[in-house]
Amino acid sequence: MAEDSPKRRKANFNEAETEVLIEQVLKHEQLLFAAGPGRASPGQKRKVWELIRHKVNPVAACPRDVEDLKKRWRDLKRRDRSKLCRLSQGCGPPGSPALGLLLAPEELPPAPPA
């Protein structure tokens, strides 16, 4: 019943993996996330995610499965949404929402004085 070694977590995504993931998901965004009557079937989406996995794994620190990639994509979207929200509240110059995409908090411009 007791395992000899505890389950170890996978290595963090490196910059190359993240770039390939973003590039490939955006390339296939219509197939993966489209709504309505013209949307892709679950089988088609699974094939696209497998294709993305095959593109990411050559640059990966450790082998990634489709669920790892989906989770990373959700995390990136959530993180970027919160950064865009902070920018829209006056942290950056008006009209530059792309500035918050994929930046670490310390890379964002300072908030204007109150």
Q: Could you tell me if residue 102 is inside a domain? A: no
What is the structure's pLDDT at 97? 44
**Number of folded domains in the chain?**
1
Structure tokens at 10: 């996978």
What is the structure's pLDDT at 100? 47
Indicate left, alpha or beta for 82 from its phi (over 0: left) and psi (-120 to 50: alpha): alpha
Q: What is the pLDDT along the chain (114 residues), one digit of tens a residue?
A: 455 678 888 899 999 999 999 999 999 999 999 888 888 999 999 999 999 999 999 999 899 999 999 999 999 999 888 876 776 665 544 444 444 455 555 555 565 555
Q: Could you tell me if residue 92 is inside a domain? A: no
Domain that holds residue 79: 15-87
What is the structure's pLDDT at 75? 94
Q: Could you tell me if residue 109 is inside a domain? A: no
Overall pTM surpassing 0.85 (yes/no): no
Q: Could you tell me if residue 8 is inside a domain? A: no
What is the structure's pLDDT at 106? 57
Long-range Cβ contacts of 5-13 (<8 Å, 24+ apart): 10/62, 10/64, 10/68, 11/61, 11/62, 12/61, 13/60, 13/61, 13/72
